[in-house]
Structure 1
Amino acid sequence: MRSPPPIPATDWLPGDSETETLSLPDGRRLAYTVYGDDDGSPVLFCHGTPGSHVIARLLATPARERGVSLIAPDRPGIGNSADAPITLAEWPDDAAHLLSHLDVDAAGAIGFSGGGPFALACHRLPEIQRIALLGGSGPPAIGSTGRVQQFVGTLSRHAPWALGRLFRLQRWFAVRRDPSYAVGFVAQETPETDALAADEVARIVRADMLTAMARGPSAIIREQRLLSQPWPFALEDVSVPVAVFQGRRDGNVAPSTGKALAKQLPDASLELVDSDHLGTLTAAGDDALAAVQRRTRV
């Protein structure tokens, strides 16, 4: 079993020994990290947007204890992954190459926040047998986001240059301020887990933000635009079981979103979590891991 190295007090950025890379068929570089139990049940983790593989560190301890190999890639243009205009429909192909590279023929998938749509898009892969959403975004028709996210989505479509300046300004402040500054974008309450103190959670969240923006904001803007448009698949087409975890006090993704997703997905369960957006990840992460551990699809 491998434990992730501690995040240093200085800003953590991609390119350190934590990240491994895979060369995709078109020559692009895909960066990823495996947390938890290297020999455990494989689970693909889809980070949020803005976000990176680093946020999966929050589940490293429960993954190790549960015997899960948590595979956390950075999508194109994020962290150490080469940029490319990959769409929501094309992302599963990258994920399939990563799973094949790791000799994985059966896995679960978890999507946090804006990673939810990317996890659901992987339903078409024969390797993905179960999916869990942790505060996962829904399609535009559901009206899933709060005012800030709606504003960001609008800017991504109509004024990407302005959104780019906004993201650069946020990163500038994140580098110079206390880690709690970054937490304010994904949490309304003081974050803490059974395994990590609040200050360590904050440092991970800041590292996640800095890694997401390390190559500039273009990939984040592209993803925001993708998620604000109709998805290339219907929820009714998702044939694998989906466990939906939704925070009751989520200020980033409306609680009604989780309920709507669970209602429209053909085979879904819903668990309301007494927490905010980030708290849904930290409080229900272990349950999500349990929900998607390797089982035989019938």
Structure 2
Amino acid sequence: MDPAKIASQDLNSKQLVLADGRILSYATFGASSPSHYAFYFHSFPASRLEGAMLHDAAATHGIQLIAVDRPGMGSSTFQPQRRILDWPLDVTALADHLQIPQFACIGSSGGGPYVIACYHQMPRTRLKAAMIVAGIWPKVLGTQGMLLESRVMLALAPWVPGLVAAGLDYSLGRAARDTEHPEVYIATVSKMFESRPGVDGDVWRDDVGGFRDIVLANTREALKDGATGSAHEAKLFGSDWGFSLDEVKVQENTLVIWHGGLDRNVPPAMAEKASALLPGCQFKLFPEDGHVSLIVRQATNFLEQVKMMLEN
């Protein structure tokens, strides 16, 4: 099945009504008759449709990928006071609903903090494997080398999330919702990727794995109701996470961190410092990859790693 087609038509979306009445929206990708299950936590700003990038790779390894919209993005209900540490409760509720006894959690970019939160809160008898690819880390680890707009967002969002929401909506959200002028939206996203380091820009230009259509559908879905949810998430990224990395107890062969040496969204030094605070994790640096290129080009390899951990 073509992943771009999955993203554009949103074939596999479902919803769970949580105990507090909120809607949690999710979609399934990968194997239809799986041997393993993994929850996928999307980047920022993004939605469940991002899981289409990993559809073929997940199917190859017999993994069903459950990609979940975080509150205020896609079709999941906004949760005004939410914390990063609230996410494990939502994931557990969804796993219970789907009757999945054991699983992995995979997070890319902005999904990384939520993998660590789940790993910190859930027992290894339930969450057997955790994989973070190009994940963001607490800003106290240093943002030197990070793209200027990302540094500004992390600095402003904890104090003026409304301003961040307005800026994000002005720069991207309005164009994403303007169905009468799709060429404006395409040009906006294209300009954003063309400004990225070479390997990340190449993924867009070469349309690796149908990347362009997936990104366009994914971002449009993320911002369809505005940027308030995304701005609240930026606030969480730039604030205290509610736990420190050195509080996380790592069990051997259950937590893996991959990062690109050319990543400017999240500088590699940030990931290296984070891994040092998580003794027992497996850290691997890919010198020739950036932020997006690592997620897209290494999908088959990191899902193979996830499968190995689940079978351990």
TM-score (norm 2): 0.84
Where 2:99 maps in the other structure, the secondary structure is coil
Indicate the residue corresponding to 1:270 in structure 2: 283
Point out where structure 2 has 5 or more consecutive residues left out of the alignment: 177-181
The answer on 1:232 being equivalent to 2:233 is no
Match of 1:201 among 201, 211, 220: 211
CA gap of 1:54–1:87, structure 2 versus 1, over 3 A, is same
Q: Report if aligned partners of 1:110, 1:288 keep a CA contact under 8 Å in 2.
A: no
Deviation at 1:177, TM superposition (A): 3.5
| Match runs of 1:1-298 below 5 Å | 6=5, 12=8, 16-40=10-34, 41-85=36-80, 86-123=82-119, 124-126=121-123, 127-144=126-143, 145-169=146-170, 170-174=172-176, 175=182, 176-178=184-186, 180-181=190-191, 183-184=193-194, 188-191=200-203, 197-198=207-208, 200-236=210-246, 237-240=248-251, 241-273=254-286, 274-293=288-307, 295=310
Q: Report if aligned partners of 1:138, 1:261 keep a CA contact under 8 Å in 2.
A: yes
Distance across 1 between alignment mates of 2:284 and 2:156: 32
Q: Report if aligned partners of 2:173, 2:227 keep a CA contact under 8 Å in 1.
A: no
Distance across 2 between alignment mates of 1:3 and 1:83: 31
Alignment size in residue pairs = 289
Q: Report if aligned partners of 2:58, 2:300 keep a CA contact under 8 Å in 1.
A: yes
Q: Report if aligned partners of 2:57, 2:300 keep a CA contact under 8 Å in 1.
A: yes
Code of the aligned partner of 1:219: G
Q: Report if aligned partners of 2:4, 2:213 keep a CA contact under 8 Å in 1.
A: no
Deviation at 1:161, TM superposition (A): 2.9
Distance across 1 between alignment mates of 2:60 and 2:227: 35
Q: Once the two structures are superposed, what CA deviation does each residue of 1:220-240 show, in whole Å capped at 9, x if it has no partner?
A: 111101111122122221434
Q: Once the two structures are superposed, what CA deviation does each residue of 1:80-105 show, in whole Å capped at 9, x if it has no partner?
A: 11111321011100000111111111
Code of the aligned partner of 1:25: A
Distance across 1 between alignment mates of 2:20 and 2:196: 34
Q: Report if aligned partners of 1:164, 1:218 keep a CA contact under 8 Å in 2.
A: yes
TM-score (norm 1): 0.88
Code of the aligned partner of 1:281: I
Q: Report if aligned partners of 1:89, 1:232 keep a CA contact under 8 Å in 2.
A: yes
Where 2:56 maps in the other structure, the secondary structure is helix
Q: Once the two structures are superposed, what CA deviation does each residue of 1:183-236 show, in whole Å capped at 9, x if it has no partner?
A: 45876421179xx94482112112111111111111111110111112212222
Distance across 2 between alignment mates of 1:216 and 1:186: 25
Distance across 2 between alignment mates of 1:111 and 1:238: 18
Where 1:6 maps in the other structure, the secondary structure is helix
RMSD: 2.4
Distance across 2 between alignment mates of 1:122 and 1:262: 17
CA gap of 1:287–1:192, structure 2 versus 1, over 3 A, is farther
Distance across 2 between alignment mates of 1:36 and 1:151: 36
Code of the aligned partner of 1:234: S
Question: Matched residues, percent identical?
Answer: 25
Q: Report if aligned partners of 2:173, 2:226 keep a CA contact under 8 Å in 1.
A: no
Distance across 1 between alignment mates of 2:302 and 2:193: 22
Q: Report if aligned partners of 1:37, 1:67 keep a CA contact under 8 Å in 2.
A: yes
